[in-house]
Protein backbone atom coordinates (compact mmCIF):
# COMPACT_ATOMS: atom_id res chain seq x y z
CA UNK A 1 0.00 0.00 0.00
CA UNK A 2 1.24 3.49 -0.81
CA UNK A 3 0.57 6.41 1.50
CA UNK A 4 1.02 10.11 0.87
CA UNK A 5 1.21 13.21 3.00
CA UNK A 6 2.13 16.85 2.58
CA UNK A 7 4.61 19.30 4.05
CA UNK A 8 4.42 23.07 3.71
CA UNK A 9 7.96 24.28 3.06
CA UNK A 10 9.26 27.82 2.52
CA UNK A 11 9.69 26.84 -1.15
CA UNK A 12 6.21 25.42 -1.66
CA UNK A 13 4.22 22.34 -0.81
CA UNK A 14 6.13 19.06 -0.73
CA UNK A 15 4.52 15.68 -1.33
CA UNK A 16 5.77 12.71 0.66
CA UNK A 17 5.10 9.11 -0.29
CA UNK A 18 5.80 5.95 1.67
CA UNK A 19 4.92 2.33 1.93
CA UNK A 20 5.18 -0.10 4.83
CA UNK A 21 9.00 -0.17 4.49
CA UNK A 22 9.85 3.53 4.44
CA UNK A 23 9.83 6.80 2.55
CA UNK A 24 9.66 6.27 -1.22
CA UNK A 25 9.30 9.81 -2.51
CA UNK A 26 9.70 13.48 -1.69
CA UNK A 27 9.07 16.13 -4.31
CA UNK A 28 7.55 19.57 -4.82
CA UNK A 29 3.83 19.47 -5.58
CA UNK A 30 4.17 21.64 -8.69
CA UNK A 31 6.75 19.40 -10.35
CA UNK A 32 6.11 18.19 -13.85
CA UNK A 33 4.93 14.59 -14.11
CA UNK A 34 3.79 14.61 -10.48
CA UNK A 35 0.77 12.50 -11.35
CA UNK A 36 3.05 9.70 -12.55
CA UNK A 37 4.71 9.59 -9.12
CA UNK A 38 1.49 9.11 -7.15
CA UNK A 39 -0.23 5.78 -7.55
CA UNK A 40 -3.99 5.76 -7.92
CA UNK A 41 -5.39 4.50 -4.67
CA UNK A 42 -2.71 6.16 -2.52
CA UNK A 43 -4.05 6.91 0.92
CA UNK A 44 -3.47 10.22 2.68
CA UNK A 45 -2.35 9.23 6.15
CA UNK A 46 -0.03 10.43 8.91
CA UNK A 47 2.62 7.75 9.46
CA UNK A 48 5.65 7.73 11.77
CA UNK A 49 7.94 7.99 8.71
CA UNK A 50 6.11 11.13 7.62
CA UNK A 51 6.48 12.65 11.10
CA UNK A 52 10.20 11.82 11.06
CA UNK A 53 10.62 13.25 7.55
CA UNK A 54 8.75 16.43 8.47
CA UNK A 55 10.99 16.84 11.50
CA UNK A 56 14.03 16.42 9.21
CA UNK A 57 12.58 19.03 6.82
CA UNK A 58 11.86 21.43 9.71
CA UNK A 59 15.50 21.22 10.78
CA UNK A 60 16.77 21.51 7.20
CA UNK A 61 14.64 24.54 6.36
CA UNK A 62 15.69 26.21 9.62
CA UNK A 63 19.17 26.43 8.08
CA UNK A 64 20.74 23.56 9.97
CA UNK A 65 22.05 20.27 8.65
CA UNK A 66 19.94 17.48 10.18
CA UNK A 67 21.92 14.95 12.19
CA UNK A 68 19.74 12.02 11.13
CA UNK A 69 18.22 10.71 7.93
CA UNK A 70 14.66 9.41 7.67
CA UNK A 71 14.33 5.77 6.67
CA UNK A 72 13.95 5.74 2.89
CA UNK A 73 14.72 3.50 -0.01
CA UNK A 74 15.03 3.84 -3.74
CA UNK A 75 14.58 1.37 -6.54
CA UNK A 76 16.12 1.63 -9.96
CA UNK A 77 18.73 0.22 -12.29
CA UNK A 78 22.18 -0.59 -10.95
CA UNK A 79 23.50 2.52 -12.69
CA UNK A 80 20.88 4.82 -11.14
CA UNK A 81 21.43 3.27 -7.73
CA UNK A 82 25.18 3.93 -8.01
CA UNK A 83 24.54 7.57 -8.96
CA UNK A 84 22.08 8.06 -6.08
CA UNK A 85 24.60 6.50 -3.70
CA UNK A 86 27.16 9.13 -4.74
CA UNK A 87 24.55 11.89 -4.34
CA UNK A 88 24.10 10.90 -0.70
CA UNK A 89 27.81 11.55 -0.08
CA UNK A 90 27.77 15.19 -1.23
CA UNK A 91 28.34 17.30 1.88
CA UNK A 92 25.80 19.86 3.03
CA UNK A 93 26.64 23.25 1.53
CA UNK A 94 28.92 21.81 -1.18
CA UNK A 95 28.43 21.10 -4.86
CA UNK A 96 29.88 18.59 -7.30
CA UNK A 97 29.58 18.30 -11.06
CA UNK A 98 27.95 15.61 -13.14
CA UNK A 99 31.47 14.92 -14.43
CA UNK A 100 32.75 14.46 -10.85
CA UNK A 101 30.06 11.87 -10.22
CA UNK A 102 30.86 10.10 -13.51
CA UNK A 103 34.54 9.95 -12.56
CA UNK A 104 33.74 8.62 -9.07
CA UNK A 105 31.59 5.83 -10.48
CA UNK A 106 34.13 5.06 -13.21
CA UNK A 107 36.85 4.58 -10.59
CA UNK A 108 34.61 2.38 -8.44
CA UNK A 109 33.70 0.18 -11.39
CA UNK A 110 37.18 0.14 -12.94
CA UNK A 111 36.04 1.88 -16.12
CA UNK A 112 38.10 4.30 -18.18
CA UNK A 113 35.28 6.83 -18.49
CA UNK A 114 31.57 7.41 -18.10
CA UNK A 115 29.14 9.87 -19.62
CA UNK A 116 28.27 12.90 -17.52
CA UNK A 117 25.03 13.09 -19.52
CA UNK A 118 24.10 9.57 -18.41
CA UNK A 119 24.74 10.66 -14.82
CA UNK A 120 22.45 13.65 -15.43
CA UNK A 121 19.70 11.32 -16.57
CA UNK A 122 20.03 9.23 -13.42
CA UNK A 123 20.10 12.33 -11.21
CA UNK A 124 16.88 13.45 -12.90
CA UNK A 125 15.14 10.25 -11.83
CA UNK A 126 15.84 10.77 -8.12
CA UNK A 127 12.47 10.53 -6.35
CA UNK A 128 13.66 11.70 -2.95
CA UNK A 129 14.62 15.34 -3.43
CA UNK A 130 16.56 17.28 -0.81
CA UNK A 131 17.30 14.22 1.36
CA UNK A 132 19.10 12.66 -1.62
CA UNK A 133 20.64 16.01 -2.56
CA UNK A 134 20.46 16.17 -6.34
CA UNK A 135 20.24 19.98 -5.99
CA UNK A 136 23.96 19.92 -5.12
CA UNK A 137 24.93 18.79 -8.63
CA UNK A 138 26.01 21.45 -11.12
CA UNK A 139 27.36 21.59 -14.65
CA UNK A 140 31.09 21.29 -15.30
CA UNK A 141 31.33 25.00 -16.09
CA UNK A 142 29.69 25.82 -12.75
CA UNK A 143 26.30 26.45 -14.37
CA UNK A 144 23.20 25.47 -12.46
CA UNK A 145 21.53 23.00 -14.74
CA UNK A 146 18.31 21.06 -14.38
CA UNK A 147 16.42 20.38 -11.20
CA UNK A 148 13.08 18.61 -11.06
CA UNK A 149 11.90 21.09 -8.43
CA UNK A 150 12.85 24.03 -10.68
CA UNK A 151 16.06 26.03 -10.99
CA UNK A 152 14.74 28.81 -8.74
CA UNK A 153 14.34 26.31 -5.90
CA UNK A 154 17.76 24.81 -6.61
CA UNK A 155 19.32 28.25 -6.26
CA UNK A 156 17.46 28.88 -2.99
CA UNK A 157 18.43 25.49 -1.53
CA UNK A 158 22.11 25.97 -2.40
CA UNK A 159 22.11 29.54 -1.09
CA UNK A 160 20.46 28.47 2.16
CA UNK A 161 23.04 25.70 2.70
CA UNK A 162 26.01 27.93 1.93
CA UNK A 163 24.66 30.70 4.14
CA UNK A 164 24.25 28.22 6.99
CA UNK A 165 27.95 27.38 6.67
CA UNK A 166 28.87 31.07 6.56
CA UNK A 167 30.36 30.86 3.07
CA UNK A 168 27.62 32.35 0.96
CA UNK A 169 29.02 34.15 -2.06
How many other CB atoms are there within 10 angstroms of residue 19's CB atom?
16
pLDDT band at 58 (very low <50, low <70, confident <90, very high): very high
Residues 90, 122, 134, 138: which is the catalytic one? 134
Same domain, 83 and 146: yes
Rounded to the nearest integer, the mean pLDDT of the chain is: 89
> What length does the chain have?
169
- Which of 46-50, 72-76, 92-96, 162-166 is predicted least confidently? 162-166
pLDDT for 169 beyond 50:
no
Active site residue 168: no
The CATH number linked to 50 is 3.30.160.70
Q: Is the pTM of this model over 0.85?
A: yes
Burial track 36-60 (b if 16+ CB lie within 10 A, e otherwise): ebeeeebeeeebebbebbbebbeeb
Identify the domain containing residue 126 by its residue range: 78-164
- Which residues are within 8 A (CB) of 118 and not within 5 positions of it... i.e. 6 or more apart? 79, 102
pLDDT for 40 beyond 80:
no
Residue 169 located in a structural domain: no
Same domain, 15 and 91: no
Same domain, 48 and 124: no
Helix, coil or strand: residue 167:
coil
For residue 56, report the phi and psi dihedrals to the nearest 5 degrees.
-60, -45
Chain segment 84-128, per-residue pLDDT in tens? 999 999 999 999 999 999 999 999 888 888 888 999 999 999 999
How many domains are contained in the chain?
A: 2
**Strand pairing category for 96-97 and 3-9:** unpaired
Amino acid sequence: MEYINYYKSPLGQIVLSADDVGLTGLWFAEQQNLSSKINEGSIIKELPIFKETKRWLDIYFSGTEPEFTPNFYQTGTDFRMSVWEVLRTIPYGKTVTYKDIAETISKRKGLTNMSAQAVGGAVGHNKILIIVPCHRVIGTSGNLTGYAGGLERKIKLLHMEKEAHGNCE
